[in-house]
Amino acid sequence: MGLADLHMHTIYSYDGTASVPAVLTRARQIGLDVIAITDHDEIAGSLKALELAPKYGLEVIPAIEITTAEGDLLALNITEKIQRGLPLIETVLKVGEQGGFCIAPHPMAGGFGMKSLSAYSILRALRNAEVAQILIGIETYNATAIDRMSNHYARILGNRLNLAQTASSDAHVVEAIGLGATEFDGHTAQHLIAALQNGDVQQRKQKEWNSVRIIGSWAANYVGSAFTRLANAA
């Protein structure tokens, strides 16, 4: 079985704290086969990871977390940024034009400035046959969502939909990578994409972090990451 974490952030996100090499090192250490770096409305870190990945012995699917008008959306297997603030259906179709696919992350989760897709938005979008070919996954386990009930609601919705159910970390600090992960037959990104298209994946869950730990670790790391950001910007 292969193991993938398809939702995590780096310093290329306004709220991430980890550098791309630190993410790749950690992902390798904990035995992930495939990862996707999904910075908010920014793809530069993901493309850098794609370039560096062979040195680390793992595969990267280039990706982005897009702020749509209706909430966050993970877009994978694309290499160009997509405009934020568009309606969900229009955004998904743009991802499809690039040959990519989408996963609805932390559906219905709120709190801490988080904007998530509602069940209504997801169901309405899936009625569009073209969208249903592209929006193939729903994240029903998010290891670091501050809204503690959201995984429960996401699972109820996911069980009623014909979508692949993924587990992800949504890590904003390096130690959180892999706390939620998705198992699939095979080891490569291609195997994983095929498994997602068939809805044939399993969730691997580590213990969820509580909100004190999520915010505490983020704050501690954020200060340190300021120096890396400055060095990167120079």
Per CB under 5 A, does 42 bind Zn ion? no
Comparing CB distances to Zn ion, the nearer of 158 and 180 is 180
The closest residue (CB) to Zn ion is 170
Comparing CB distances to Zn ion, the nearer of 65 and 147 is 65
Give least dist CB 15 to Zn ion, A.
Answer: 9
Instruction: Decide: 36 and 60 in contact? Cβ < 8 Å.
Output: yes
What is the size of the binding site for Zn ion (CB under 5 A)? 2
**Binding piece for Zn ion, criterion CB under 5 A, among 41-49, 57-65, 158-166, 210-218:** 57-65
**Binding piece for Zn ion, criterion CB under 5 A, among 58-66, 91-99, 108-116, 217-225:** 58-66
- 183 Cβ contact partners less than 8 Å away, ≥ 6 residues apart: 1, 2, 3, 4, 201, 202, 203, 204
| Rounded Cα gap, residues 221 and 152, in angstroms | 29
| Rounded Cα gap, residues 14 and 40, in angstroms | 7
Give least dist CB 129 to Zn ion, A.
Answer: 28
Comparing CB distances to Zn ion, the nearer of 15 and 183 is 15
**Binding piece for Zn ion, criterion CB under 5 A, among 128-136, 145-153, 155-163, 168-176:** 168-176
Comparing CB distances to Zn ion, the nearer of 42 and 65 is 65
Query: Taking the CA atoms of the chain, what radius of gyration do you get in angstroms?
Result: 16
Beta strand 71-76 with 101-104 is antiparallel
User: Count of CB atoms within 10 A of residue 149's CB?
Assistant: 12
The three-state secondary structure class of 102 is strand
Comparing CB distances to Zn ion, the nearer of 59 and 170 is 170
Question: Which of 146, 170, 177, 184: binder of Zn ion (CB under 5 A)?
Answer: 170
Quickly list DSSP for 6-41.
--B--TTSTT----HHHHHHHHHHTT-SEE----BT
Give least dist CB 234 to Zn ion, A.
Answer: 27
Give least dist CB 125 to Zn ion, A.
Answer: 19
Residue ranges binding Zn ion (CB under 5 A): 65, 170
